[in-house]
Amino acid sequence: MSSAGPLVTIGVPIYRSADMVAETLDSIRAQTFTRYRVLMSVDGGDQESAEVARAYTDDPRFELHVHETQLGWTGNINWCAAAARTRYFQYWQHDDLAEPDYIANLYRVLKKRPDAAVAYCDVRWFQEGDRITAEDSVEGDALSRIHEMIDRPRWTPFRGLIRTEAVRRAGPLRTLPHKSAMEDLVWNIKLGGHGALLRVPGAMYLKRIHANSLSTDWNRWSDETRTRDVWMAFGSGALQAIWPHVRTPQERWQALLRLFERLALPEAGRWSFYTAVTATEAHCSMFVAEALSVFERIGVPTLRSDLGIELERLTERLTDRLMGAAPRARTWASLDLLNGWRDFGAQYATTAYCIGQDGWVSLKGQIKGGDATAGTHLAYLPPNAAPAEAHLFLAPTWSGTALIGVDTSGAVYAHTPADAVFTVLDGIRFPVR
């Protein structure tokens, strides 16, 4: 490899690893790809580890930085990433190793795929266990990649070769209670919003597993409060990844519902850090309310305003869906109107929908005042009330009639121009999906 300027910044956060970090730095120095810069970032004034690392500064590619204050693992990685001035960035754990062609193989793949955010390989565990972790590539459009990463989180891309531009766009790791557990998974989800994640087959990265490692500690946790807190924090980070890619209230509602189903409903073959007990409506409602509070506090502060719905109503709708039931304690549920449409008022029925025992959905109400242009969404139904196939209905209006459509996503829309003086939804009825 050419001796021209560096293309890769390797961030090595170091803390209490004086007995292992030399082996790690030797592994980096043995790489056949040589156009790199190494940031040896020693946390918490750990002088013993710093002394070991200092011996490597005779190589001008290796820089030593000692932080007297405690950054923590997330803060130290963030510092390394922020200091990167090269085209690519790589996080290298202070006690891990790699095969000599590790960086070279990942670099070759990324160079050929400008649409990719990261290239990563399989991981072989060693020392206290011998196994291989292989996690498939994630491609497709941004939202598809994010949903796939939420459904089946992958941690190995975190140790891959990442485009520095994608690092910047994904943003820093969050520093949270409970040792920021699973924040690497959250960050990988965010990374998925900015490019494909490409697996390079072969166990070229060697992860040391030992009793004092963070991942070992996380996997020992069993108390419900801590695991629930971490799982909800995971959800809030996943929501941060999703939100820039959903624009309308309907898209946001669908995304939020899908996320809650992922968090609360177990599914065979799908990993969960915490299994929410949703056997009773009260417990499910409590889980939803608590998770929404966490989402607003450390995820998306504008969640309610973005959805245009009050917290109590949002909790109710999510609980209904997770319980797999029709709206609770009433026959009819109010329909959330969009684009300036509102109830006509006076003696006319409030706009609402109902799921009958026969599995058919009925709408009722008279609306006015909104955008009547063809194609405009008038309202949206929750996913459990969406039709099995798209339908068109002839609806009375002030000026005559209009065709009102209901599509499989639950959108109720004006197929032909509606009438802002009034448009009637009574009589719209279809089988549920």
Residue that terminates a domain, selected from 186, 214, 242: 214
Copy the structure tokens of residue 36: 């790199």
In the beta sheet, which residues pair with residue 62? 38
Token pair, residue 261, equals: 């189903």
Based on the domain organization, do 79 and 186 belong to the same domain? yes
Rounded to whole angstroms, how far apart are CA atoms 367 and 351? 7
Q: Is residue 384 part of a domain?
A: yes
The answer to whether residues 92 and 169 belong to one domain is: yes
E strand map for 256-358: 333-334, 336-337, 342-343, 352-355
Among residues 45, 31, 144, 17, the alpha carbon closest in space to that of 90 is found at 31
DSSP character string of 372-388: -STT-EEEE--GGG-BS
344 sits in the region (left: phi over 0; alpha: psi -120 to 50; else beta) called alpha
Q: Digits of tens for pLDDT over the chain (433 positions)? A: 556 899 999 999 999 999 999 999 999 999 999 999 999 999 999 999 999 999 999 999 999 999 999 999 999 999 999 999 999 999 999 999 999 999 999 999 999 999 999 999 999 999 877 889 999 999 999 999 999 999 999 999 999 999 999 999 999 999 999 899 999 999 999 999 999 999 999 999 999 987 666 666 655 666 777 888 899 999 999 999 999 999 888 788 888 988 988 888 766 567 777 766 545 666 677 788 888 889 999 999 998 888 877 777 777 777 777 766 433 434 688 888 999 999 988 667 789 898 876 678 889 889 999 999 999 999 988 888 888 889 998 888 888 889 999 998 889 999 999 999 989 898 788 888 6
CATH assignment of the domain containing 119: 3.90.550.10
CA-to-CA dists, residue 146 to 117, 181, 196, angstroms: 13, 19, 10
Same domain, 209 and 232: no
* CB environment 55-75: b (16+ within 10 A), e (fewer): ebeeeeebbbbbbeeebbbbb
Specify the pLDDT at position 102: 98
Judge if 308 and 337 occupy the same domain: no
39/172 same-domain check: yes
Backbone angles phi, psi at 97, to 5 degrees: -130, 175
Is 219 contained in some domain? no
In a domain, 2, yes or no: no
Instruction: Return all residues near 305 (Cβ < 8 A) that are at least 6 apart.
Output: none
Residues 350 and 371 grouped into a single domain: yes
Q: Are residues 305 and 382 in the same domain?
A: no
Q: DSSP of 262-322, one letter per residue?
A: HHHS--TT---SS----SSHHHHHHHHHHHHHHHHHHT-TTHHHHHT--HHHHHHHHHHHH
Model confidence, pTM: 0.74
Alpha helices in 86-213 (DSSP H): 102-112, 142-151, 164-170, 183-192
Let me know whether 230 and 178 are in one domain.
no
**1 falls within a domain:** no
Report d(CA 76, CA 268) in Å as an integer.
Answer: 36
Co-location of 97 and 196 in the same domain: yes
Give a yes or no: residue 328 inside a domain.
Answer: no
Instruction: Provide φ and ψ at 335, rounded to 5°.
Output: -100, 130
Let me know whether 236 and 111 are in one domain: no
Q: Of 187, 214, 241, which residue constitutes the final position of a domain?
A: 214
Residue at 401 is within a domain: yes
Q: Is 171 left (phi over 0), alpha (psi -120 to 50) or beta?
A: left
Residues 6+ apart with CB under 8 A from 294: 229, 232, 233, 235, 236
Tell me which H or E stretch contains 58.
none
Query: Is the sign of the CA dihedral 184, 188, 194, 197 positive or negative?
Result: positive
Tokens of 312: 């109590």
Q: What is the number of domains present in the chain?
A: 3
Using DSSP's 3-state secondary structure scheme, residue 40 falls into: strand
**In-domain check, residue 377:** yes
Contacts of 330 by beta carbon, 8 Å cutoff, 6+ apart: none
| Residue where a domain stops, chosen among 260, 290, 322 | 322
Residue type for position 345: G
Q: What pLDDT score was predicted for residue 307? A: 83
Instruction: Name 380's bridge partners.
Output: 336, 411
Give the domain CATH number at 420: 2.60.40.1830
Both 387 and 306 in a single domain?
no
Question: Does residue 173 lie within any of the structural domains?
Answer: yes
Residue 369's domain spans which residues? 333-431
In which residue are the tokens 């915490």 written? 274
Judge if 40 and 141 occupy the same domain: yes
Distance CA 392, CA 273 (A): 43
